[in-house]
Amino acid sequence: MNPPRVAEGLTVPHQVAVFVENKPGKLEKITGLLAARRINLRAITIADNGDFGVMKILADDPEKARAALVEAGLAAALKDVVAIVLPDRPGALHEFSSVLTRHRINIEDAYGFVLARGQKAVFVIEVDNPAETETLLRKEGLALLTDKDLYAL
């Protein structure tokens, strides 16, 4: 398990990355394992890579989710992420991406979701140095979710 990194005294959030065979029933198996442990999912992405793929999960308890998946024989790891709160309006993601460009921050992977239509959205990014990125984005005045905030959504 990756040790938590800290940005300005706050713990950087984690997602669970699961390496899975690309065949019917894998989503059901994984969600069943998590449901049996009463782990609530906040967001999920699945990326196909031929015979195998990567499922990324935001859960209310990522450490418990990773442990349950590993115990079931699946390759799962915690990955540090940065979760940015953006207004739910046209141009908000463009404005945020301009900040990243200005500071030469490269996004390795990302996904987003709306919290409250017309109000808030969350954009979750994987970057090379999440703690440093969080510190920089906070200095830019952006709203970020701490690990506890993200897991409590």
pLDDT digits (tens, 9 = 90+) for 23-82: 999 999 999 999 999 999 999 999 988 889 999 999 999 999 999 999 999 999 999 999
Q: How far is it, in rounded angstroms, from Cα 76 to Cα 134?
A: 24
pLDDT of residue 153: 86
Identify which of 2, 12, 4, 3 has the alpha carbon closest to the alpha carbon of residue 134: 12
Q: Going from the N-terminus, what domains does the chain have, and what CATH number goes with each?
A: 10-80 (3.30.2130.10), 81-151 (3.30.70.260)
**pLDDT tens-place string over residues 112-143:** 999 878 899 999 999 999 999 999 999 999 99
